[in-house]
Copies of this chain bind each other. A is one copy, B any other.
Amino acid sequence: MKISVLTGEQKKYFMKEAILEAKKAELINEVPIGAIVVLDGKIIGRGHNVRELSQDATTHAELLAIKDANRKLGSWRLERAQLFVTLEPCPMCSGAILMSRIDEVFYGAKDPKGGTVDSLMNLLQDNRFNHMSYVESGILENECGQLLTDFFKKLRNRKKKQKKTSISDRSLV
């Protein structure tokens, strides 16, 4: 069985960088998900979810981090690279990981409704594809998950408040 080239400390260090990316998304009211790509101990790609701002369905954190790494390296191949992401990847991002041949994937929180690395299936370790990635889950899981829980709680409260305001507006008519 393959063992990651990174130490436990390195994994936490890089996941904190992915969390920093997630916080950039939160600041602009996007679902807080962040990702980075690492090669030889250096961050070569960064990305955070900007789907609402960009109105582009493909602007997930992982996809943007992969594109950034491709641009920095001048190559679509990321064969010796690691990807850190705060949430379990969706099918599109799992696919992008396979297409760019990323070697190792580390994620924080599970996505039971849409994750395709552990939750619904494992696209990254299906030997019928021409690439497979090493996967490790649960890196700073609580911190990664809490970001999402807090975001959706705030969103619900904001919506409730808006509803209340619109009802009281109507009562004035």
Contacts and interface: CB of A to CB of B under 8 A. Distances in A.
Given A57-B66, A60-B99, A120-B126, 13 more contacts: A55-B73, A56-B71, A56-B76, A57-B99, A91-B95, A91-B123, A92-B92, A92-B98, A95-B95, A95-B116, A114-B130, A120-B128, A121-B121
A171 to B, nearest CB: 33
Contacts of A20: none
A76 B95 contact: no
Query: What size tier do the contact residues of chain A reach?
Result: 35 or more
A63 interface: yes
Nearest to A93: B95
Which 6 A/B pairs are nearest by Cβ-Cβ distance?
A: A92-B95, A91-B95, A57-B100, A57-B76, A57-B99, A56-B70
Max chain B CB contacts within 10 Å: which of A51, A67, A94, A95? A95
Contacts of A121: 121
A91 B90 contact: no
